[in-house]
A = this chain, B = another copy of it.
Amino acid sequence: MSKVEIVEVAPRDGLQNIARFVPTEDKISFIRKLRATGIERMEIGSFVSPKAIPQMSDMEEVVKGLGPMPGLRTVALVPNSKGASRAIASGISDLIFVISMSEAHNMSNVRRSVDASIADFGRTLAEIDPEKKLSIRIGLATTFHCPFVGVMDEVEVLRTMCKIVALREGIELTLADTTGMAEPQHVGRFARRCLAEFGNSVQWSFHGHDTAGFGIANVLAALDAGVRSFDGAAAGLGGCPFAPGATGNIATEDLVYLFSRMGIETGIDLAKLLEVAEIAASLSPTPTGSHALAMPRARVLAGGGRLSA
């Protein structure tokens, strides 16, 4: 293993958790700067109801303003067929749907049962993508731990995953530690089990938070199980408005620093990323959870080596 993928989610998962509306041109600039660090896949926003999440009300303008982004897979979150149609009309072909593995969390999040969400997802897929040309990612919220239930039952989660996988070949499933309270052995064991059960019919990724300080340990557990794609948010922006107590996403720069120390390629320029992470941090009204950003810059850039000065 010499290369992993990091999926940047700050423009979506970060900005939708900041109360104020970030102007369209600032979003575009932010996405462009993130792309310039070498990031090759990015969640750029959500085609959701402007009433529900006003921060994302300018998605069409953002996509139009960005124009073609060679080498970048631009991913958008969509909650339903309406959002998916808007995204596709804008020219987006990489979509992420979120379905919670916990009934209680799904109900709190979208006010319907998990089965109803899966059925709706199936109908949406048939409607928007009859020729199966889109890339579809499902964020499996509360895969490991739910704010209302506690630790999730692994067999029940696997059963739910089977229903989703049955709807589409070659789908990507993102094992999401929504609360940031997944215990690393659980993450490793469950990821290993997923890869054994579903194997290569599914693409795998891990989305974590650092709420309990387990963020990097969970990434390493998923890596050890065979996962090769990891979500990060510049500066550790983000959170989950429907998962009280959850802190921001694992910082992209913490992931890039970790992998660089391990000799694993990410294709991302850490020095450039730290500069963009400064911008990301400045957008947040509260301190973010980035470690690399809090460390002396020269120390981070020295990697495991001696300081040059």
Chain A residues near B (Cβ < 8 Å): 145, 147-151, 181, 183-185, 210-217, 220, 244-245, 247, 250-251, 254, 257-258, 261-262, 287, 291-292, 294-296, 299, 302-307
Give, as a whole number of angstroms, the nearest-CB distance from A296 to chain B: 4
- Contacts A181-B299, A184-B216, A210-B213 aside, 8 further interface pairs with beta carbons under 8 A come to A148-B307, A181-B304, A183-B258, A184-B217, A185-B262, A212-B254, A212-B258, A247-B294
- Give the complex CA separation of A148 and B251 in angstroms: 26
Give, as a whole number of angstroms, the nearest-CB distance from A260 to chain B: 10
Chain B residues with Cβ below 8 Å from A257 are 212
The reply to whether A212 and B295 form a contact with Cβ atoms under 8 Å apart is yes
Contact partner of A150 (CB less than 8 A), chosen from B185, B215, B296, B306, is B306
The reply to whether B150 and A214 form a contact with Cβ atoms under 8 Å apart is no
Give, as a whole number of angstroms, the nearest-CB distance from A223 to chain B: 10
Chain B residues with Cβ below 8 Å from A306 are 148-150
Give, as a whole number of angstroms, the nearest-CB distance from A6 to chain B: 15
Contact partner of A295 (CB less than 8 A), chosen from B149, B245, B261, B291, is B245
Give, as a whole number of angstroms, the nearest-CB distance from A126 to chain B: 36
Chain B residues with Cβ below 8 Å from A251 are 213
Give, as a whole number of angstroms, the nearest-CB distance from A49 to chain B: 29
- Give the complex CA separation of A211 and B296 in angstroms: 10
Closest to A179 in B: B299
> Oligomeric state, in number of copies?
2
The reply to whether A304 and B245 form a contact with Cβ atoms under 8 Å apart is no
Chain B residues with Cβ below 8 Å from A287 are 287
- Give the complex CA separation of A304 and B214 in angstroms: 14
Chain B residues with Cβ below 8 Å from A215 are 213
Chain B residues with Cβ below 8 Å from A299 are 147, 181, 244-245
Give, as a whole number of angstroms, the nearest-CB distance from A227 to chain B: 15
Chain B residues with Cβ below 8 Å from A245 are 295-296, 299
Chain B residues with Cβ below 8 Å from A296 are 244-245
* A149-B306, A304-B150 given; A295·B254 CB < 8 A: no
Give, as a whole number of angstroms, the nearest-CB distance from A244 to chain B: 7
The reply to whether A210 and B291 form a contact with Cβ atoms under 8 Å apart is yes
Chain B residues with Cβ below 8 Å from A185 are 262
Chain B residues with Cβ below 8 Å from A303 are 150
Q: Which of A213, A220, A294, A305 has the most CB of B within 10 A?
A: A213
Chain B residues with Cβ below 8 Å from A220 are 184, 217
